[in-house]
Amino acid sequence: MLKRAYDWCVSYASHPGAPYLLFALTFVESSISPLPPLPLLLPMCIARPDRAWFYALVCSLGAVSGGYLGYAIGAFLYDSVGSWLIGIYGLQDKAAHLIATSQDFWFWVLVTKGLTPIPFKIVTIMSGFLHFDIWKFTLGMVVSRVTFFAMIAVALRFYGDDIRIFIEKHLPLSAAVLALVVIGGFFVLPAVL
């Protein structure tokens, strides 16, 4: 089953709709969904290392666009949708602490969290709730998410074949590591906020 899923992701890289799906996954990851784009981005870049920069751009645009939706949820719907999404991660107490103490350093929180695989929607929603300056918010999102996806693109553009060989040779281990990074972000998030 794992091999079929991997093969589907790799074969889907050539599909004309792949960039749109990648954009959509990244958009919702920055605003409402816990599913990150990495499980699709990595095989797509491995299958087409010549398009790694393009895929990084698609992800960056999706993340920034979705970040504005997360901001709007925090600014206008925090009491309903925003608090529910933050409650899923068990961060209500941390969110209250951040609201009380973080205005002076929120830009750096935004940039730091955007450079990690930790769910980015928490930071975008909290930015809206804090009514953090929209221009600083935009700058922080662009710097962090473009850098994050560019680092992945660089690695896969120049070492894509070696990474592909390793993944295909050790597919269960590779899937476990990816799952650990993705799922681990949910457990690490309360500790780092």
Question: Measured between alpha carbons, how far is 169 from 162 in angstroms, rounded to an integer?
Answer: 11
Digit-coded pLDDT (tens) for 116-139: 777 788 889 889 988 899 999 999
Question: Measured between alpha carbons, how far is 33 from 120 in angstroms, rounded to an integer?
Answer: 10
pTM value > 0.85:
no
Digit-coded pLDDT (tens) for 28-37: 988 888 777 8
Question: Measured between alpha carbons, how far is 54 from 130 in angstroms, rounded to an integer?
Answer: 33
